[in-house]
Amino acid sequence: MPTLISVVIPAYKRPELLKQAVESVIAQTHRPLELVIVNDGSPDDTAAQMEAMRPAVEAAGIAASFHSKENGGVASARNYGMQRATGDYVALLDADDLFFPTKLEKQLAAVLTADADASSCLVERRIGERVSLYPSDAAGLLSGHNPGGVLRLEVWTHTNSLFLSRELLDRAGMYDERLEIFEDDEFLIRLAHHGKFAAVPEALATWIDQPESLS
């Protein structure tokens, strides 16, 4: 059977940017897909914008799993979405960022080729008109089984690059919602401890770095 991939998007404010993120999921070359959006108690019209996109998502052959909950922060929203995702693999995307069209296809291929549990990739970082890579080169990208490298900040990867098997999430657990800071860091160290990463040394996502950004 084809491999089902779930994309989890936590959403809080900035509903006009959520539309762009969803369109980047619709543009993915891989199918089958499931899109899980979690409205984290946003006080604006995020919930309405989310539902307005349902027809386009379903018309693209993507299963739509949309939810609204009380505000609990981005870690809580990601966990809520991952718990409800039904895919064999889960990819994380913030509501103000974007995937390149071949992201999921290339990361799935990398995981299967390397017999890995997860995949990382470079991310295009945009700050206004400035564009750079994050990490700055492939040598700094998390690969293999390397929790020590993450802990020493020798290797890293952005949340939007994460492509995780369900088995790895079951072993490593999800975000620690008790943490008010460094929850991404602690989560990545656990993932690197429990699983093997296959790195894709090219940019497959865009991180739009701005003051209101989730990431």
**Spans of the chain below 50 pLDDT:** 215
Q: What pLDDT, on a 0 to 100 scale, did the predictor assign at position 1?
A: 75
Domains (range + CATH), the chain: 5-208 (3.90.550.10)
Task: Give the C-alpha separation, 208 to 171, whole Å.
Answer: 31
CA 115/CA 67 separation, integer angstroms: 33
Determine contact, residues 29/105, Cβ cutoff 8 Å: yes
Q: Can you tell me the distance from the alpha carbon of 192 to that of 117, in angstroms, rounded to the nearest whole number?
A: 10
For 114-164, the pLDDT digits (tens) are 999 999 999 999 998 899 999 988 889 999 999 999 999 899 999 999 999
Look at residue 215 in the predicted model and tell me its pLDDT.
46
Instruction: Specify the pLDDT at position 3.
Output: 95
Q: Residue written as tokens 């970082």?
A: 125
85 vs 166: CA distance, rounded Å: 9
pLDDT value of position 214: 52
- Say how far residue 68 (Cα) sits from the centre of its chain: 18
| pLDDT value of position 211 | 56
